[in-house]
Structure 1
Amino acid sequence: MYRHICKTSLLALTGAAFLTVAAVQAAERVELERDGLTHIAHLEMASGKSLEDGVILMLHGTMAHGRMEIMESLQGLMAERGYNSLSINLSLGIDAREGMVDCAIDHVHRHEDALAELDMWMGWLNEQGAGRVALMAHSRGGAQMAWYAAEHKPQGVEHAVLIAPATADHAATARAYEERYGAPLARVYEQAAELMRMGQPDTLIEDIGFLYCEGANASAAAVASYYADNPDFDTPALLPGMDMQVLVIAGSEDATVADLPERMAELKGEAHIQYGVVDGAEHFFRDFFADDVADLAAEFIGW
């Protein structure tokens, strides 16, 4: 059933009495070759566990990576709770990509590229004998994971944990773009759309605002993807189509997806959706707030 969970971090707790020590193996770097690129992920195994015990497939947010602070923290915390995890790096068109994306690259990646890469890693987990798989994703990765789950309906996946997943409001995106970059989004988007109509998706549009980057070079296909008015970018709209149990976790102080509580309230009738709020947490759930996320996730998955 849909329920609201409230979790408060104990930031005042300090000292050795509150430290936990777990025999967790260091994350192992995994490489896969696909479409001429080396794709990178990191597999972290809980002490005494095998792949047959299950794996959480994890996805990061916009232009980030699978070992950024929130992802690395959650891998370690979930391992302490007995859960294996595979945290992937979306390639974003870059060979053997690790670390945050450099704005100076030519951006040729698309939002929807994540679906094929998630399916690739899901296939790898199945080939390795993963007994079961759960999904976990943060921010834009939450929207991409929800789209993947709703469209691909991966076999045997029964649980998904979406942490501060992205919502989508095209009008709000256009306003924010013009405020940040001083140019109408419609002008840039129409340039990309025209190139797409001309059959030139790989042509670069130079010196534009693109995602978090000023003065970037991005392909017409990239601009047309990320700035499309596409309902499949909106996590709450995708949740009813996910054929699994879903837990959405929000931070009470999250200004990045500030409309998430309102949007989730619209889904109270959905029996397969749960909603949890971590009091005091912002978008990246730093410090003890990550422990709260791990507690909620472990209880929800329940392996």
Structure 2
Amino acid sequence: MRLRDIFTLLLITMALGSGAAQAKQVQTDYEDLKLNAELVQADGSSLEEGVVLMVHGTLAHGQMEIMKGLQNVFKEYGINSLAINLSLGQSDREGMYDCDDTHRHKHTDAVDEVAHWLNWLKEQGADNITLLGHSRGGNQAAWFAAEQNDPALKEVVLIAPQMWDMKYERKNYKERYDTALQPIFNKAKKLVKKGKGDTLLKNTDFIYCEDTTVSAESFVNYYKDDERKDTPGLLKQIDKPVLVIAGTEDNVVKGLEKRVEPLADGEKVKLEVIDGANHMFRDLYLYDIADQVQALIDARS
């Protein structure tokens, strides 16, 4: 992070806390669901001038701290933004996903919902769209961009995007829940193979939720070994400029800089490492992100 004096820190912190951008709630129909999002437009700006489509992380929502904070800062920079709520299988979903609710959602659902929101933005006249994702949402954004080369999509910004390694997932699951992942996965996989993917696995540990209820299909989708869940492996497949942002104090997505650095050519793939930032890039680190996003957009023209 660049050095700023105490007075500047105080002013910006106050702005983030009390100067929230005016947001317009947007709702759209998708299959049998109502999807929600928050649209923030810069003063005197229109969507035709460009917009950032923002995807949140695991079991979160479009107004979680990093998403809301970025929307406020983007408005200061004159950048429009749409922060979506992934449905996670629930209609009209708001706020964090409740672990007491039954999990029927899939990691891959987000890819289709991103496509839906991109098309919605195009219907509103936007054809200069920057796709931004954080954490798991970073992987889902990259997955979409790697598979769908939409002309309206101009750049991709991945903030601390998910990486994937099956051995690490097994180890992490065991350490978090003191339970082996593989036997549960094998049971769920057999159910899916028999056409019983909607079978509910009760008292099961899943993602960040302990002792919850999850469908066999959902469990398999989140935990099966799929190389597309590993964001660095997708970067060369994306036919758009990609900016990857990492924090030196990120203890959630560890080793991102090491993985991405060999892939970053400074043109198609750029890597920005923000000194001192953790996984959530709080407060002034949001301005470091906005600086990089602004530079990426400016480089387009």
CA contact under 8 A between 2:264 and 2:271: conserved in structure 1? no
Give the Cα–Cα distance (whole angstroms) in 2 for the partners of residues 285 and 161 of structure 1.
Answer: 14
Give the Cα–Cα distance (whole angstroms) in 2 for the partners of residues 189 and 284 of structure 1.
Answer: 30
**Per-residue deviation, 1:114:** 0.5
TM-score, scaled to structure 1: 0.93
- Pick aligned residue for 1:196 from 192, 201, 204: 192
**Per-residue deviation, 1:289:** 1.1
- Pick aligned residue for 2:235 from 233, 239, 248: 239
Q: Which residue number corresponds to residue 149 of structure 1?
A: 145
Q: Which residue number corresponds to residue 245 of structure 2?
A: 249
**1:117 and 2:113 correspond:** yes
Give the Cα–Cα distance (whole angstroms) in 2 for the partners of residues 178 and 275 of structure 1.
Answer: 32
Identity across aligned pairs (percent)?
Answer: 42
Q: Which residue number corresponds to residue 203 of structure 2?
A: 207
CA distance change for structure 1 residues 287 and 104 in 2, over 3 Å: closer, same or farther? Answer: same
CA contact under 8 A between 1:61 and 1:138: conserved in structure 2? yes
- Residue identity in the other structure for 1:69: E
- Pick aligned residue for 2:71 from 66, 70, 75: 75
Give the Cα–Cα distance (whole angstroms) in 2 for the partners of residues 75 and 105 of structure 1.
Answer: 29
The list of structure 1 runs, each at least 4 consecutive aligned residues, that deviate by more than 3 angstroms after superposition, is 7-21, 268-271
Which deviates more from structure 2 when the two are superposed, residues 287-296 or residues 133-142?
Answer: 287-296
Give the Cα–Cα distance (whole angstroms) in 1 for the partners of residues 224 and 206 of structure 2.
Answer: 13
Give the Cα–Cα distance (whole angstroms) in 2 for the partners of residues 201 and 53 of structure 1.
Answer: 44
**Per-residue deviation, 1:131:** 3.5
- Residue identity in the other structure for 2:90: I
CA contact under 8 A between 1:240 and 1:270: conserved in structure 2? no
Where 1:107 maps in the other structure, the secondary structure is: coil
Larger % of helix: which? 2
For structure 1, the 5+ residue unaligned runs are: 1-6
1:145-176 alpha-carbon deviations (Å, 9 max, x no partner): 00000001122312111101111111001001
CA contact under 8 A between 1:9 and 1:279: conserved in structure 2? no
- Pick aligned residue for 2:219 from 223, 246, 261: 223
Q: Which residue number corresponds to residue 269 of structure 2?
A: 273
Q: Which residue number corresponds to residue 82 of structure 2?
A: 86
Larger relative contact order, structure 1 or 2 (CA cutoff 8 Å, min sep 6): 1
Give the Cα–Cα distance (whole angstroms) in 1 for the partners of residues 297 and 59 of structure 2.
Answer: 27
**Per-residue deviation, 1:201:** 1.0
CA contact under 8 A between 1:64 and 1:99: conserved in structure 2? yes
CA contact under 8 A between 2:127 and 2:153: conserved in structure 1? no
TM-score, scaled to structure 2: 0.94
For structure 2, the 5+ residue unaligned runs are: none
CA contact under 8 A between 1:139 and 1:163: conserved in structure 2? yes
Q: Which residue number corresponds to residue 52 of structure 1?
A: 48
Give the Cα–Cα distance (whole angstroms) in 1 for the partners of residues 232 and 12 of structure 2.
Answer: 40
CA contact under 8 A between 1:24 and 1:47: conserved in structure 2? no
- Residue identity in the other structure for 1:220: A
Where 1:229 maps in the other structure, the secondary structure is: coil
